Amino acid sequence: MKEIRIHGRGGQGSVTAAELLAVAAFEDGQYSQAFPSFGVERRGAPVVAFTRIDDEPIRMRSQVYNPDYVIVQDVTLMDVVDVAGGLKEDGMMIINTEASAEKFEEVPARVMVVDATRIAMEIIGRPIVNTVLLGAFAGATHEIRLNSIRKAVGDRFSGTIGEKNIEAVEAAYNAMEES
Amino acid sequence: MSELKAELKVVEGSYAVAHAVKTCHPDVIAAYPITPQTHIAENLSQFNADGELGNCEYITVESEFSALSTLIGASATGARTYASTASQGLALMHEALFNAAGMRLPIVMTVANRALSAPLSIWNDQQDSIAQRDVGWIQLYAEDPQEAADMTPQAYKISEDRDVMTPAMICFDGFILTHVYEPVALLEEELTDEFLPPFNPEHILDPKNPETFGAFADPSIYTEFRYMQELGMREALKKIDPVAEEFREIYGRYYGGLLDEYRLDDAEIVLVAMGSIIGTIKDVIDEVRRDGIKAGLLKIRSFRPFPLDAVRKALKNAGIIVTLDKNISIGKCEGALCTEIKAALYNTRLDTPVVGYMLGHGGRDVPPEIIKKIINKATRSMKDGLTIESSYADLKEEFV
Amino acid sequence: MRLCIGGIVEPGTTLANKTGGWRSFKPEYHYERCTKCGLCELLCPESCVARGDEGYYEIDYDYCKGCGICAHECPTGTIEMVLEVK
């Protein structure tokens, strides 16, 4: 079983990202589960959401304490929340930042960085990073196929918004593939 | 992708339940939104707005008390009725819950289990439904969204049986199950139609043939009316297993009837629990069994009617019984399952020790480690013959 | 007698239930004093006083509970409450 923890701020779509990861993983033929940390969500407040992916039906319903992957949607959270807490040594953290991975040497696992905000601004025209980071996740981990992310995002957002989100997903995927 | 898996769809737990309700063709829905039940009410409201509920009347009300009172009237006219609520909303319904049960109106209601104030908490435990133990409603507890969805037509079938005629609550852990996205097989209308006959009560409110429901009963007959409710529950007790079997025949899914067992056959340490912690417990049991600890699980699916005989049978070979409760009777420091299981063993030849643990109150997470710790303690207690009093498994002593 | 579940009963009716049986005193008219003012009809809480053919008022003893309001209020003392003999 692979466990993913997504850190974001209220309004950044962390819960939607967790859900779309679950949909995409299921599209890939795996079982999945996504749930928020059930806070009293307010815009800007730190938010956590979780996704589990497995070949077998998932029965575990506790929160995720030892994630294989951590996605950080907002780099300012690094100083506020223990985003690396419990992250497996052989796990990976994907951070939305314009800085390079070397800047995060205190994280006791592999760090991948993606400038998701820039990608989102260039392609979608708004700083919506949740779908972009899904592309980055697929590119960095290969846990989920790009096509499945594309389909999950396309099914969720229709029309031009959907197309632009998919384009942004692809851009982030390719950026991770190259790095 | 396997054929079975192809039928699955990743949806939110609340959607799965609302969709299941839709396939049961309710005639009247009345619900007042309250966290964490809101998504169930929203989804049904959306179905209604989209014309997917047929002739169903979705009545927006100004409180939970009104919601249930509305349904009491509607059900008495022969309508199939549905409500959903949680926590304070369920507490506000308290008086009307007795009326629905006493008038023998088979209303089905999903309770998105949540803690009660004060202190204010929107998070999950089962204090709300447990506090309504004695109102005369059937209480079924679901371990995951699929089971809660599947329980819905089953609850109607049991409740509307002419020998039962008793309302039912489907208890469904708030947030943990209402807000989780996972693969669920959505119920199909044709199959539910095949499984669930139309509601056809013997008595209905009809101006052409007037009758009074819940009439005045003086001391010469009140006891008998209450006893007849007990008889209705006994009929429900007989029907919950066969209805689960009928559901399996049509839908191919089965979650147990009155109760379910997991690796219980040779289990020395038997955990007894209900609701969303069941899945986590199953994973932990698999893990500790690899270390040679013979642990098993008894899942209580029907808390009311309480399956006394089935529970006794399931527990007869246990070396130690551990109950896990998401509720507490303050002043006894014990959860409802603990009390029930202890009572079930009385007047039998069993003197198996029962250890009660309370955990996961007010939304506190139940990680697998805490279940492991409980199993280890029980193992030691069984070996040493020490008695452990009922207590919180996850209390932060340093805070009190 | 078998009770019906849910406390469901057919509606009761005073067509069958003659409430006059509750009475221990009954009103009787002495019409020689009556002015046909109609206060007794107006004030009867059971509506069991009705005007007869000649304008005098009569009591429906099937439903009169013997409350005595008519006798108390009659301005001419036409109505007398007498012990019910059963």
Taking 50 as the pLDDT cut, the residues of chain A under it are none
Q: Do domains B9-251 and B259-399 have the same CATH topology?
A: yes
Distance CA A64, CA A34 (A): 11
What's the per-residue H, E or C state across chain B? CCHHHHCEEEEEHHHHHHHHHHHCCCCEEEECCCCCCHHHHHHHHHHHHCCCCCCCEEEECCCHHHHHHHHHHHHHCCCCEEEEECHHHHHHCHHHHHHHHHCCCCCEEEEEECCCCCCCCCCCCCHHHHCCHHHCCEEEECCCHHHHHHHHHHHHHHHHCCCCCCCEEEEEECCCCCCCEEEEECCCHHHHHHHCCCCCCCCCCCCCCCCECCCCCCCCCHHHHHHHHHHHHHHHHHHHHHHHHHHHHHHCCCCCCCEEEECCCCCCEEEEECCCHHHHHHHHHHHHHHCCCCEEEEEECEEECCCHHHHHHHHCCCCEEEEEECCCECCCCECHHHHHHHHHHCCCCCCCCEEEEECCHHHCCCCHHHHHHHHHHHHHHHHHCCCCCCEECCCCHHHC
Residues 6+ apart with CB under 8 A from B200: B78, B160
Specify the pairing of strand A46-54 against strand A2-9: antiparallel
Distance of CA A163 to the CA centre of its chain: 19
Distance CA B74, CA B223 (A): 27
Chains A and C: 3 or more CB pairs within 8 Å of each other: no
Residues forming a β-bridge with B139: B169, B304
Distance CA B57, CA B75 (A): 12
Distance CA B16, CA B30 (A): 18
Residues 6+ apart with CB under 8 A from A171: A119, A122, A123, A132, A135
pLDDT of residue B1: 41
pLDDT of residue B237: 98
The superfamily in CATH containing domain B9-251 is Thiamin diphosphate (ThDP)-binding fold, Pyr/PP domains (3.40.50.970)
pLDDT of residue B6: 57
Query: For residue B178, which residues of chain A lie inside 8 Å, CB to CB?
Result: none
Query: For residue C7, which residues of chain B lie inside 8 Å, CB to CB?
Result: 102-103, 212-217, 225
Please indicate, yes or no, if residue C53 is contained in any of the structural domains: yes
pLDDT of residue A101: 94
Residues 6+ apart with CB under 8 A from B2: none
Distance CA B365, CA A86 (A): 16
Read off the pLDDT of residues B239-292 as tens digits, 9 standing for 90 and up: 999 999 999 999 999 999 999 999 999 999 999 999 999 999 999 999 999 999
Long-range contact pairs involving A35-38 (C-beta distance under 8 Å, separation at least 24)? A35/B175, A35/B176, A35/B179, A35/B180, A35/B181, A36/B175, A36/B179, A37/A63, A38/B36, A38/B122, A38/B123, A38/B124, A38/B175, A38/B176, A38/B179, A38/B363
Helix (H, G, I), strand (E, B), or coil: what is residue A69? strand
CA nearest to B98 within chain C: C6
Please indicate, yes or no, if residue C1 is contained in any of the structural domains: no
Is residue B387's pLDDT more than 80?
Answer: no
pLDDT of residue B386: 77
Residues forming a β-bridge with B277: none
| Closest among B68, B77, B75, B78 to B110, alpha carbons compared | B68
Residue B13 contacts residue B179 (beta carbons within 8 Å): yes
pLDDT of residue B2: 45
- What percent of chain A stands above pLDDT 70? 97
Q: Please name the residue that has the structure tokens 């959505």.
A: B186
Residue B283 contacts residue A59 (beta carbons within 8 Å): yes
pLDDT of residue A41: 62
Considering only CB atoms, B10 lies closest to which of A23, A60, A65, namely A23
Read off the pLDDT of residues B88-146 as tens digits, 9 standing for 90 and up: 999 999 999 999 999 999 999 999 999 999 999 999 999 999 999 999 999 999 999 99
Please indicate, yes or no, if residue C39 is contained in any of the structural domains: yes
Q: Please name the residue that has the structure tokens 């590119």.
A: A139
Considering only CB atoms, B225 lies closest to which of C7, C10, C11, namely C7
Domain count of chain C? 1
Read off the pLDDT of residues C8-62 as tens digits, 9 standing for 90 and up: 888 888 888 888 888 889 999 999 999 999 999 999 999 999 999 899 999 999 9
Distance CA B308, CA B237 (A): 10
Nearest CA-CA distance, residue B275 and chain A, Å: 11
Read off the pLDDT of residues C66-86 as tens digits, 9 standing for 90 and up: 999 999 999 999 999 999 876
CA torsion A55-A59-A60-A64 (nearest 10°) is 50
Q: Which two tokens stand for residue A71?
A: 């996605």
Which chains reach chain B with 3 or more Cβ–Cβ distances below 8 angstroms?
A: A, C
Q: Kindly report the CATH number assigned to the domain that includes residue C33.
A: 3.30.70.20
Distance CA C6, CA A29 (A): 51
C6–B102: do the CB atoms touch at under 8 Å?
Answer: yes
Considering B2-6, B137-141, B379-383, C63-67, the range whose residues carry the highest mean pLDDT is B137-141
Residue B151 CB burial class (10 angstroms; 0-12, 13-18, ≥19): buried
Any C CB within 8 A of B234 CB: no
Which chains reach chain C with 3 or more Cβ–Cβ distances below 8 angstroms?
A: B
Distance CA A20, CA A7 (A): 15
Distance CA B244, CA B246 (A): 6
Please indicate, yes or no, if residue C59 is contained in any of the structural domains: yes
Please indicate, yes or no, if residue C51 is contained in any of the structural domains: yes
Query: For residue C9, which residues of chain B lie inside 8 Å, CB to CB?
Result: 211-212, 215
Which chains reach chain A with 3 or more Cβ–Cβ distances below 8 angstroms?
A: B
Please give the average per-residue pLDDT across B208-213, as a whole number. Answer: 93
What are the sequence ranges of the domains in chain B? 9-251, 259-399
Distance CA B310, CA A155 (A): 46
A62–B179: do the CB atoms touch at under 8 Å?
Answer: no
pLDDT of residue A177: 85
Residues forming a β-bridge with B299: B260, B273
**CATH assignment of B259-399, among 2.40.30.10, 3.40.50.300, 3.40.50.970, 3.40.50.920:** 3.40.50.920
- Choose, out of A4, A14, A59, A148, the residue to mutate when testing the contact with B (most B CBs < 10 Å): A59
Query: For residue C15, which residues of chain B lie inside 8 Å, CB to CB?
Result: none
Query: Which residues constitute the domain of residue C78?
Result: 19-83
Residue B230 contacts residue B282 (beta carbons within 8 Å): no
Please indicate, yes or no, if residue C52 is contained in any of the structural domains: yes
Mean pLDDT, all residues of chain B: 96
ipTM of the complex: 0.93
- pLDDT band for position B399 (cuts 50, 70, 90): very high
